Amino acid sequence: MFKGDPSDDTLPYGKLFHSVDNYMKWHRTDFEDDIDMIIWIGGLMGGQAGSWYDARAEYMKKYFKLDIWNHFVSAMEERLLDRP
């Protein structure tokens, strides 16, 4: 589970995203649309990352915004990318 805590190096963001990207390429027919991918990766998040994911999902729902994968990944990297 990815926690989004820079001090927790058990699963850094780069390793998570590499694994997720490979999985999604291999199982591309399992994901019908961007929402499927976003919901799936959200299930891999806990801690700070999970809180960020939940807050983003709530915001998108509250303001009737449609999330798309590229925007989600950009926001995720901005918020959760490993920083030295």
Q: pTM score > 0.95 for this model?
A: no
Which candidate, 19, 15, 10, 12, places its Cα nearest to that of 83? 12
Spans of all domains in the chain: 13-25+33-78
For residue 9, name the pLDDT band (cuts at 50, 70, 90): confident
pLDDT tens-digit readout, 25-79: 899 899 999 999 999 999 999 999 999 999 999 999 999 999 999 999 999 988 8
Any long-range contacts for 12-21 (C-beta under 8 Å, 24+ apart)?
Answer: 12/82, 13/77, 13/80, 13/81, 13/82, 14/81, 14/82, 16/44, 17/73, 20/44
Residue 45, SS3? Answer: strand
**Side chain identity, residue 3:** K
pLDDT score at 37: 93
